[in-house]
Structures are given as structure tokens and as C-alpha cells.
Structure 1
Amino acid sequence: MQHTILLCGGSGQRLWPLSGAIRSKMFLNLLPAPGGGTESMIGRVCRQLDQAGLGDSALFVTHKDQQALVRRYTGGGYPVIGEPHKRGTFTAAALGVLHLYAGGTAKPEDTICVAPADMFADDDFFRLFHQFTDVLAASGAELALLGTRPARPSDQYGYIVPGPDIAGAYAPVIAFEEKPTRPRAEELLRAAALWNCGVFAFRLSFMLSQLQQMGLPAELKAFADCYPGLPVLSFDKEVAERTSSAVVLRHEGEWRDLGSWAALSAELQQPVTGAGGIWGESADTAIVNELNIPLHVIGVPGIVAVASHDGILVAGKHEANAIKEIMQLNAAVPGYGESSWGSYTVLDRTAGGPQQILTIKLSILPDCELPETTCHYRKHWHIVSGYGEILRNGHYAAAHPGDFFTINPGEQHGIKAHTAMELIELRMPGEADEKPIYN
């Protein structure tokens, strides 16, 4: 039997200000959907997994803070487990494998396919996953990968150097090269190298042996207990580049990494998303605006103009990746976040020494609940639209537009929405920190 583990990770800094630590790029609802409208990267992948007959054996692995959000964007139709800490692709893959093994879902002889959850590829790409079991058996290899023909010499991708094809189905892996210089990338193209798609397949027993060789436990609870002390471990570096027996399947169709504004803007249905417009000589310019105020570009070609509650970016499309280094040096407190129940937007922060008063808009989805929790700050809730119930210290009270509630420190409180609800929260005072406003 074959199982597919989808890894959900990344800091999202290259697509700031729309993505970040709280909202990864895979949740951005910007890609054209087949039936009209738009869909997220992770929603697109779920649809393609189901179409390829892989959905029933799929498992998503994410950081615990995004576990509820992954369930929301995958429609609740797949198992989702949370890492206690972010420790790299190898560690996340190992956690997923041990979860399947410990639960009896997978056996040592089963095939495991590990792939990123934010892939952008055609449907044939996912159908190739079904070949992994036969390829591993026929080749005797420990590891099978997917590679695709490069569209151009790029220094943003890893490369696989293959040997001659065997029976037209796969090729032995000669070498890996991670993000080479542009001249070296041109050499690799001439040598028929492939872009590494980040998809790896192996037998479950192979992962168990890898953990043993690394001195790590192969039992789920013991492995999870080790997480705080583990370094960041990459599957490419810890496994792929050290495996002497690997093969690669060649994908001839569509595959792209939408991890930059240049790549993502090329997939948008129209050049302007949100309020605003493009005017004059502004060819190859795109606007993505989440704010309720218009954003206009006049006579500036080849740029992206992106606005959200976390900030505003205006950059040349091919220079926009520099935002990652800028944000690493100038980290900002997020002003927007999502969870399983809806989203929040910070409307204002009024500083007062080490404390600040926050004004927050909460948007709660129909039939969803803001989980009951202990109030750490005095807060006021003003219901703007929709109706539901406010929970305070175990008692429910009806909540309608115009109602006003005060929650005192130490009180247990939550919200149950019967329809979509919006409310304004005034939190006063609160400690100024970088923790999410809501999880």
C-alpha cells in the first residue's frame, strides 16, 4: 500500500505582506479555480490528490499552531497532525511516518511518498505518484524522486543530475546540486539535469533504518519527546544527498514553485485583485490589495503592489524576493491572522509605555466557535453583524448586532456563531508582545 505525507511549512516571508508566520502562502486564496472563482494552493492540491485517487491515503503534517487552519482549508477531509516545534522537512516526514506506523495504518513494506503541500503542478504530476511502488521494486533503489524539465536556468531551485533512462521509466540519480549559480545552472541544463520537485518516495522500513542510524527513536511518543532538542534537519541533506541508491522519475508537464511574487502574479486571473487599478504605461504590473482603500498604479511597468493589514510592498517583480532578507532584519508584529473559526484584523494599536490598547475586528464563520479560554486582559466586545451566543463562565447569552459585552480578567469566555459574525474587540490594556492575538 502507498501513503502520501504532505508537509505544510515555511515562514512565508517571500510573499509578504500577504503571507507570514501565521498565514503561509498555501492559504492564499488567489489561484483560478476550475469552476470559476479562486482557490488556495493547498485547496488545489487536495482537489488534485482526490482526482488522482490519492486522497484516501493522505496525511498532512504542519506546525501545531497551524493545525486548525490546515483542517479548515482542506475541508476537514484529511487527517492532520501537528509538530510541537518546526524542525525541518526530515523531522516532519519522520513524525508523519511514525504516526502512520504507530496507528497501524502503514506497515514496514508500505511505500511512503513525502511531498510539499504547496506544490503547483498539472494533474499528470500527481498521477506519477502511483508509479513509485513499482519503480522502487524494479530498480531496487532505496529512494525515488520526481524531477521536471527546467523551463530556464535558475538559481532558485535544486537540481537532480540523472543518468540514462532505464526502460523509459526512470533514471539513476548521479548527483544533487542545491541552488547553483546562474552559470552553473546553464551547465546543468546542457547536461539534461532536472529541477528537484521536493517529492520523495521510499519504503517505511527505510525511514525506520534512517532513524536508527541517526540515533533517533523509532517510536512515536519517544520521537515527539525529542523534538525540543532536535536541530533543523532537511530531508534533502540528511537523506537524499547521502543515499547511494536513488532513482528519479521524469515529469514532462507543468510544475512551478509559486514562492515569489513574480511567479505567483503570473498565475492570477487578472492584474488587479481588490480595490484599485492600473493605468497608463504599466505593462506586466500586478496589484493584490486586501485593504478596503483603493490602490492605483500609474505609468509604472513590471512591478507588484501588494497591500494587507501587515504592510505594503511595492517592488519590481524580479527584485521582490529581497523582502525576505528585509523582514528577517525588520520583523513586524502580525496585524492579521486566521484560524479554524475565522480571522482577526488588528485595526489599531495605541501604545502606553510597555502596554498597549488593541482594537481588533473578529470575523467568525457560520456555525463556528471561538474556543472557550481564560481572559488575561479586560476586553469589550461590540457585535457589529450576525448573531450567536457569548459564553461567560459556563453560561450562554444571546448576541445580536449592537450588543455590548465586557469580559473581565480571569473569566472564561468564548463565542458560538449561528451565522457569520463580525465584532469589534477593545482589549485594554495588553502586554506588547509578538504572540498571536488569537490561535
Structure 2
Amino acid sequence: MYTVLLSGGSGKRLWPISGPMRSKQYLMFLKDSRTGEPCSMVQRVWAQLEKANLAGNCIVCADRTQKELLRKQLGGVRISEEPEGRDTFPAVALSCAYLKSRLHAKDDDIACILPVDPYAEQAFFESLKLLPSVLESSGASIVLMGVRPSSPSGKYGYIVPLLYGDGYFRVRCFQEKPGEEQARDLIARGALWNCGVFCLKIGTVLKKLAGLGLPGDYDELYRVYEKLPAVSFDYEILEKSKDLVAVPFDGMWKDLGTWGAFAEIMEQPARGECFIDSSCSGARVVNETQIPVVALGLKDQMVVASYDGILVTDKNHSSRLKQIVSNLPPRPGLEESYWGAAVVLDYRPGENGYLVRRVRVHAGQKFGPKCREGLGEVWTVLSGSGRLVCGETERRLRAGDAVPLCGEEPYSLSADTELLFLQARTGG
């Protein structure tokens, strides 16, 4: 069995910490159960796949901009690279084409697809190994794994049963995020939380591609990726299928897709430069700025402060965040990459606008090449050393240097030691 991790998302559900330039699955907010050191969601899941002996045949499907960051966190992982994010159906289709073209998988070979960010106990990953046998014995086209609900939550979608078999049930339908009363009724009928895990034969997806007039070869599909419908796999395949079965998982599982869910796993009530008074109850504060945050008299609220914005929400209302943030005007935010990070300190849009960032480049890493046509820049080196190449010119950089860059020529920076500089750009 092959396993495929889908590593996508726009980063809006954990705003303002996550965003387009810093997806939630790479945030070092969790703890490695083996070492106690900080780790990301993708690192935690990968370690659990390794423990279940499922990482050897695993690939990760991710946007091309995440490729280097993925390799930094996971090492030499195989990546089904998306030219752009287009929802889960295109991601699954491209991944199956990758398995066929690059790993020489056959149409009858089985792939288990799962999101990159489940927060679950090890038994969850061990249960994935049961799905191929259910696929064969049930005669279904696709097997889903659902989680036995621990409460009538409206945060999740539900898989509704039709007929029970030996360790699985036939799927009647899906119900998206019901109200509490409807959720109680669904649970009474044996419905499961939909955790986004499914198992199928690779040929099932390749046949769908052929029906859309699209190639099953990875490189060819990559070149025409924009022709794939930008819809979820649930909408394009699952909701139209009549022969689905689902396997229940009884154990700990959470979707860390909201601040309310994240608050439940925080070992301490605060992260970063903050103080929570004893008058607070159930409050959580996350602060990644260098400006102190003080919380007084809060009850079950979440306060999140970053260089991209400030969020104050009741934990039970955080699921509405994506909808609200989608209406905010775009602005440059904190950027994290394999080479380091850049923090926006000041910004004004428009023809006479400007941008000031503090950029940190790790020792031995390269920033660029970049070209800002028509935009002037000045770099002021705060600490460290490195080499700047601008067009055909190369110069050394040291603390105290102030370097103007012309916007007409491409430039790149190589850091000898960890390099910290201010980047001031004018011209919009």
C-alpha cells in the first residue's frame, strides 16, 4: 500500500499565525513525543507513519513553493509537486499520476490518502493498514475511515451509515457540519466524523482522469494542471459514488484546524511574551511578537498576536475565522522558508508606498535569486556576514553595511554566518 499526505490549504483557519507564506502544518507548535523538542504537524505525522512502517511508500503532495521547506523538515521525502493549489481532487489526481509514473505503481495497487495534519494517537496510523483488506473484501470502490464521535460536535462533517457489515458499514450519505441537535441524531444512527482519510485503487482515479480527457502521466498532467476542476475530492468523487464503505476508528483524533481545537492541546495557557492573570479562566494566549500581551478576566477566550494581525475570539467561535479573514484586504505578512524568515515591520501600499522587513537568512542558505523590476531597495546589515551578487557584481556583506540595490537586475544573497538585515523597498 502507498500512502499520500495532502499538504495544502490557504492558511486562513489559524490566522494570524498561518497564512499563504506560512502554512499551519509547518509551524513548530507541537512537541515530539520521542525527544520532547518542538515539532511541526507534518513532522509529528511523519514520525507516526514511520513507527507504523508506512513512510517507506509515502509521498507528500504539496505546492511547489513548499518543496524546500518540506525537505528541510522531513529530509529526502518524495514530493508530488503541484504547480498551484487547486483543492483536493486535483491533488489526489496528480499524486496518483506520480505513483504511476515515478514509482511505477500499477492500476490495481492501493493508495491510502490522508491530510497532513491529523492530531491522533499512534493507533490511528496502525488502523490505516486495515483498509486495503476491507477494500478487497467489501467490493467497494473506496473505503473511508471515520472517527467514532466523542461529542455531538458541529465542527466536523459526518459519514452516515446505511448497512453494517463485518467491521465496516455501507455509506448512505455525508452531512456537513450539522447543528448540535442534528449531530446528536446522527451519532445515535451510528454516524462517524469524517477525518478525510480514504483508500482506493490508483486506477480508480486514473480512469476518472481519462474520462475528463486528461493524461494519467505525471509530467503531462503537471503541464495542464489548470484544466483540472478546482473542487474537493469529496465533491467530485465521494458524493457521486454509490459503493462506498467506512471503517470506524475508536480513539483519540483531533483536527487542529481551528484555534479552539488548538487550545485543547496547549500544555501551557500561554506561548510567547505574555502574562495571563489568575482572574482568567480557560483563556489561552499565543504571542509571537516582541511586544508583551497581558490578559485580564478572560473566560474561554483565545488571543493570538503576530506581525500579521491580532485575533481575539471566544474559542467556540474560532471556526468562523476563515470566512472573516477571506474578506480582509491582502497585505504582505511574515514569510517562513527553508532559507530563514522575513518579518514585515512597516508597510504602505500604493504608487508612493514602501515596505520594511527584517530578514534572517540561516548560515549556508541562499536568499534569492530575485528581481524587483522598477522597485528600489536598500539593505542595512545588522549582524552576520555573507555575499551579495547583483547582476554581474559581487560584494561582501558585514554588519553596518548599507547597500542600495537597483530594481533592474536580479540579485541573490548567500549567508556565510546567520545574517540579519533590514530590507527597505520603495515604489509600491
Normalising TM by the smaller chain, what interval?
Answer: over 0.9
How do 1:281-292 and structure 2 match up within 5 A? Answer: 281-292=279-290
1:218 aligns with 2:216: yes
Deviates more, 1:410-419 or 1:190-199: 410-419
Shift of residue 322 of structure 1? 3.0
Q: Give the one of 175, 185, 190 matched to 2:173.
A: 175
Task: State the alpha-carbon separation in 2 of the partners of residues 6 and 38 from structure 1.
Answer: 21
Task: State the alpha-carbon separation in 2 of the partners of residues 423 and 186 from structure 1.
Answer: 55
Unpaired runs of 5+ residues, structure 1, are 432-439
Task: State the alpha-carbon separation in 1 of the partners of residues 212 and 347 from structure 2.
Answer: 48
Structure 1 counterpart of 2:250, which letter?
A: E
**Aligned residue in 2 for 1:436:** none
SS for the counterpart of 1:124 is helix
2:363, 2:417 within 8 Å by CA — same for their partners in 1?
yes
**Aligned residue in 1 for 2:65:** 65
Instruction: Give per-residue Cα distances to partners, 1:48-70, cap 9 Å, x unaligned.
Output: 11111111211111222333333
**Aligned residue in 2 for 1:131:** 130
Q: Give the one of 351, 364, 367 matched to 1:367.
A: 364
1:387, 1:418 within 8 Å by CA — same for their partners in 2?
yes
Shift of residue 350 of structure 1? 4.5
Q: Give the one of 346, 350, 355 matched to 1:358.
A: 355
Structure 1 counterpart of 2:354, which letter?
A: I
SS for the counterpart of 1:212 is helix
Task: State the alpha-carbon separation in 1 of the partners of residues 204 and 37 from structure 2.
Answer: 42
SS for the counterpart of 1:414 is strand
SS for the counterpart of 2:316 is coil
Deviates more, 1:93-102 or 1:26-35: 26-35
How do 1:20-99 and structure 2 match up within 5 A? Answer: 20-34=19-33, 35-73=35-73, 75-99=74-98
Task: State the alpha-carbon separation in 1 of the partners of residues 364 and 259 from structure 2.
Answer: 35
Shift of residue 394 of structure 1? 4.5
1:142, 1:206 within 8 Å by CA — same for their partners in 2?
yes
Q: Give the one of 291, 295, 298 matched to 2:296.
A: 298
Structure 1 counterpart of 2:335, which letter?
A: G
Calculate the TM-score normalised by the size of structure 2.
0.94
2:155, 2:319 within 8 Å by CA — same for their partners in 1?
no
1:148, 1:250 within 8 Å by CA — same for their partners in 2?
yes
Task: State the alpha-carbon separation in 2 of the partners of residues 137 and 324 from structure 1.
Answer: 39
**Aligned residue in 2 for 1:385:** 383
Structure 2 counterpart of 1:316, which letter?
A: D
Task: State the alpha-carbon separation in 2 of the partners of residues 311 and 42 from structure 1.
Answer: 25
Shift of residue 163 of structure 1? 4.9
Instruction: Give per-residue Cα distances to partners, 1:208-263, cap 9 Å, x unaligned.
Output: 22223344332334433333243322111221222222222221111111111111
Deviates more, 1:158-167 or 1:415-424: 158-167
**Aligned residue in 2 for 1:434:** none
SS for the counterpart of 2:13 is helix
Task: State the alpha-carbon separation in 1 of the partners of residues 427 and 114 from structure 2.
Answer: 40
Instruction: Give per-residue Cα distances to partners, 1:107-165, cap 9 Å, x unaligned.
Output: 21211111111111111111122222222222222111111111111222111123565
2:108, 2:201 within 8 Å by CA — same for their partners in 1?
yes
How do 1:167-246 and structure 2 match up within 5 A? Answer: 167=166, 169-246=167-244
SS for the counterpart of 2:158 is strand
Shift of residue 180 of structure 1? 2.4
Q: CA RMSD in A?
A: 1.9
Structure 2 counterpart of 1:302, which letter?
A: D
Instruction: Give per-residue Cα distances to partners, 1:368-402, cap 9 Å, x unaligned.
Output: 11132334222122221222222233554332222
Structure 2 counterpart of 1:407, which letter?
A: L
Task: State the alpha-carbon separation in 1 of the partners of residues 369 and 230 from structure 2.
Answer: 34
Instruction: Give per-residue Cα distances to partners, 1:81-110, cap 9 Å, x unaligned.
Output: 332232211111000110121224322121
1:119 aligns with 2:118: yes
Structure 2 counterpart of 1:189, which letter?
A: I
Shift of residue 38 of structure 1? 2.1
Q: Give the one of 323, 326, 332 matched to 1:325.
A: 323
2:163, 2:171 within 8 Å by CA — same for their partners in 1?
no
Structure 2 counterpart of 1:360, which letter?
A: R
1:111, 1:132 within 8 Å by CA — same for their partners in 2?
no
Task: State the alpha-carbon separation in 2 of the partners of residues 423 and 388 from structure 1.
Answer: 11
**Aligned residue in 2 for 1:337:** 335
Task: State the alpha-carbon separation in 2 of the partners of residues 401 and 26 from structure 1.
Answer: 34
**Aligned residue in 2 for 1:13:** 12
- How many percent of aligned residue pairs carry the same amino acid? 35
SS for the counterpart of 2:326 is helix
2:161, 2:169 within 8 Å by CA — same for their partners in 1?
yes
Shift of residue 297 of structure 1? 0.4
Task: State the alpha-carbon separation in 2 of the partners of residues 334 and 358 from structure 1.
Answer: 9
**Aligned residue in 2 for 1:265:** 263
Task: State the alpha-carbon separation in 1 of the partners of residues 381 and 104 from structure 2.
Answer: 46
CA 1:287 to 1:206, structure 2 compared with 1: closer, same or farther past 3 Å?
same
CA 1:25 to 1:104, structure 2 compared with 1: closer, same or farther past 3 Å?
closer
Structure 1 counterpart of 2:352, which letter?
A: Q
Task: State the alpha-carbon separation in 2 of the partners of residues 237 and 180 from structure 1.
Answer: 17
1:32, 1:268 within 8 Å by CA — same for their partners in 2?
no
1:408 aligns with 2:413: no
Task: State the alpha-carbon separation in 1 of the partners of residues 83 and 271 from structure 2.
Answer: 36
